[in-house]
Structure 1
Amino acid sequence: MTTLHHLSQAADHISGICFKTGPPRRIGVELEWTVHRSDAPAEYLEAADLRTALGTHAPSALGNPHPGAVLPGGGAVTVEPGGQLEISSAPAGSLTELYESLSTDHAYLRALLARSGLVLGDSGLDPYRAPRRLLHTPRYAAMQRSFDAAGRHGRTMMCSTAGLQICLDAGTESQLPRRWGALHEMGPALLAAFATSGRHAGRDTGWASARMATWYGIDPRRTRPVGTPGDLAAGWAEYALAAPLLCVRRGEQEWDVPAGVTFADWIDGALPGRPAVDDLDYHLSTLFPPVRPRGYLEVRYLDAQPGTEWIAPAAVVAALLADDTTTDAARALAAESAGQWLTAARAGLADPTIRRTAAALLDLACRNLDGTGLPRAVRDVVTDIVARRLDRAGTRKDAHR
């Protein structure tokens, strides 16, 4: 494995893997949920509860000695530190293909859990329980100690949040800046439109998306949006190298690192030994901007959705990026609220500017759902969900539901 002696080596590696260009064809989704006992949703679960319920599909992090079996639709089950479960879909060639395969996996997982008296949550933040870590690994122990030193938000993020991630091809070299810019500029309005995390640990948080509030409470060098002007690859490399290390892998020893040491500092000799390329790849997995380049574009700012309603935000994003003309129109509509992440998370659609932008973007998306290839019945479901979100979210109180 190549050892990194110079910042330029690291920057070149990041630039080479972060944006893979080509005609946009594939889409994927990661669905994440908190998990609860159906008869006692505020009761904490243990790793053994999830391992038993998942059977052969349990990931190794739950103590399964074998790799977890894939679900019938091709998705893989993973588990987060607080016991949240996630289905990572296989990349699909169309939104219809994705909808069919992920719907199959979602239904299968719900039935699997139901046999053990467990249910999936329906919001982006655990509404019943305070954060408690269920997985005890060197990575998560180091993460928690690092986050705890700065406040409560990191532990909440690790153990109580559930998101919906949409993964899209970056597009051709000429499309990349347009698609990258659109996903950021539309972000605040779409975050607000699909916010589901107003309650946490039995109380109203006062936020439309308290899940996103947890991200704002974490070191912004790890969570702020990546700058968009100029060379995108160079900008991401600069962001990544200036971000503090969250942990360094050391087998079964503690993975803690001194506070504030960045990956660039490690290359420059701040820690014993020099990092290798795979250490850099691992470091990239500990960075959490709202849109993250991973060869494809990973949209990370959406809350988990109730039941099967994940298709609505997925279809909206797909429709708005279906062709360059629609994407340009979406960027023009989004300009008024671009960058207003904090307002969107706190007030949701109760903020007039955010609501106006969201309504315009959702209208544009619904008028262009034909371009997603979804069957008419599913398109009708999407438009119904969108209409309900706009109708019931006129005040901040309603936006928390």
Structure 2
Amino acid sequence: MTQLTEQAAELLIADQAFAPTPPGFVGAAVDVPAATPPAERTRLRHGFLAARWARTAVVSGPPSPGLTVCLSRMAEDLELARPMIADPGVPVADGAGIRVALEAGLEGGGPLGLTRRWQLAHTLGPVLAAAFANTPGAGWRSVRQAARRHLPVLPPGTPRAAWVAYAMDAPDPRGRSLRTRFREEPAPPLAELLRHVGSLRPPVAARGHLEIDVADHQPGEGWQVPVAVIATLLDDPQAALDAAAATAHLIGERDLWERAARAALTDPVLAAAAREIFIAAYAALARQGAPRPLRDAIADYTERYVLRARTPADDILDRSAAQA
């Protein structure tokens, strides 16, 4: 077998990064606390239940034709999964989150083109991470997002070049990057390279589609809010334009991921952007005639948290302070 070279690896990662497709399909994955995560991947009605970490499982839904179908399928699967894993006393892991999968978009320009969607997903990332912060600890409102505190808002280069650079330079569990291995060690075999790329969890990942991982676990049925907001801001043309206008200036902000993780919406820059994008998301859902319960959930979250520069993490911090 021909040995894989660094250049061949970069070409392979770039080739698999995006399958240009117009927006429309929506997928989601929700981490849930589990006393006993399943030993193997289990089929649910629509998607799957699988172990994620110790005491954490993940319910992942299939690509669905539109937001409403996605939310309906996920709700059914989460209900089916609960008896298999439920234990009300199991705490939520700091790493638990909610991921949204959206089509990459088409090659070329326009608000729904690949390049614009890649940029918008990144500028929205820290704002949404701040708005959905819910893992407080050690001076952070989101311990989960604190691991991303050194990331730039938008990685340099075209979407494919940016993803290739990230994948080649990201360290593996032993602290070695693919680039280091190609240059200083025996080259990794193809299967290992693919496992490494598949294990990467940046805020925005290229999986053929866009995988957006910016929201912490939310209590109760609150998982629907980040899925709806993220999908609407990226897939509705007018909401995408409004969100781009509200966040484009954030590309030059310093330490924005650290500020999102530490201060969340107490940071005035993040709070101002969050207000604009949540209003844009609600307006788009109203235009689309989205179900009233979903619109009410977005409105309630906006009023309870976003307009008050708070997040669910602040509720936890307030309870802790009251008990001290």
TM category, shorter = 0.7 to 0.9
State the 1:266 CA deviation: 2.6
1:312 and 2:204 matched: no
Instruction: Specify which of 70, 88, 95 is matched with residue 43 of structure 2.
Output: 70
Aligned equivalent of 2:141 = 208
1:285 is the counterpart of 2:198: yes
Residue 320 of structure 1: SS of its match in structure 2? helix
Instruction: Evaluate the alpha carbon distance shift between residue 177 and residue 167 of structure 1 in structure 2; reply closer, same or farther with a 3 A threshold.
Output: same
1:101 paired residue number? 73
Q: Secondary structure at the match of 2:214?
A: strand
Offset at 1:337?
A: 3.9
Question: Is the 2:203–2:213 Cα contact (8 Å) retained in structure 1?
Answer: yes
Q: Which segment is superposed worse, 99-108 or 334-343?
A: 334-343
The equivalent of 2:301 in structure 1 is: 385
Match among 359, 362, 365 for residue 278 of structure 2: 362
Residues 304 and 356 of structure 1, relative CA distance in 2, 3 Å threshold? same
CA distance in 2, matches of 1:211, 1:95: 26
- AA in 1 matched with 2:243: A
The one-character-per-residue Cα deviations of 1:24-78 (angstroms, maximum 9, x if unpaired) are: 121111100233xxxxxxxxx5xxxx16xxxxxx342xxxxxxx43112x12111
TM-score (norm 1): 0.70
Provide the C-alpha distance between the structure 1 equivalents of 2:63 and 2:213, rounded to a whole number of angstroms.
17
Give the structure-2-normalised TM-score. Answer: 0.86
Distance apart, 1:305 and its partner CA: 0.9
Name the structure 1 match of 2:322. none
Give the Å deviation of 1:376: 2.5
Q: 2:125 aligns with which of 182, 187, 203?
A: 187
RMSD of the TM alignment (CA)? 2.6
- Look up the SS of the partner of 1:167 in the other structure: strand
Shift in CA distance, 182/122, structure 1 to aligned 2, threshold 3 Å: farther
Shift of 1:239: 2.3
Larger Rg: 1
Contact 2:25 2:66 in 1 (8 A): yes
The answer to whether the Cα contact below 8 Å between 2:42 and 2:50 also exists between their aligned partners in 1 is no
Read off the aligned partner of 2:223 and give its amino acid letter. Answer: W
1:308-344 C-alpha deviation (Å, 9 max, x unpaired) = 1111111111221223443122111113444511111
Alignment gaps of 5+ in structure 1: 36-44, 52-57, 61-67, 127-159, 200-204, 247-256
2:239 pairs with 1:267: no
Residues 281-330 of structure 1: per-residue CA shift (max 9 Å, x gap): 11112322211111111111210111111111111112212234431221
1:130 match? none
Give the partner amino acid of 2:239. T
How many residues align structurally?
A: 310
Cα distance in structure 2, aligned partners of 1:372 and 1:33: 30
Q: In 2, distance between residues paired with 1:242 and 1:186?
A: 24
Percentage of matched positions with identical amino acids:
31
Matched, 1:81 2:53: yes
Partner of 1:31: 30
Higher helix proportion (structure 1 or 2): 2
Pair 162,351 (structure 1): closer, same or farther in 2 beyond 3 Å: same
1:333 paired residue number = 246
**Alignment partners' CA distance in 2, 1:7 and 1:333:** 39
Q: Which residue of 1 aligns with 2:208?
A: 295
Matched with 2:136 is 198
Q: Is the 8 A contact 2:266 2:309 kept in 1?
A: yes
Q: Equivalent residue for 2:97? A: 163
Tell me the secondary structure at the aligned position of residue 191 of structure 2.
Answer: helix
Residue 7 (structure 2) pairs with residue 8 (structure 1): yes
Q: Which residue of structure 2 lines up, in the alignment, with residue 238 of structure 1?
A: 165
Query: In the aligned structure 2, how far is the partner of 1:328 from the partner of 1:122?
Result: 39
The aligned amino acid for 1:286 is: S
**Structure 2 letter corresponding to 1:299:** I
User: Residue 253 of structure 1 aligns with which residue?
Assistant: none
Change over 3 Å in CA distance of 1:381–1:239 after alignment to 2: closer
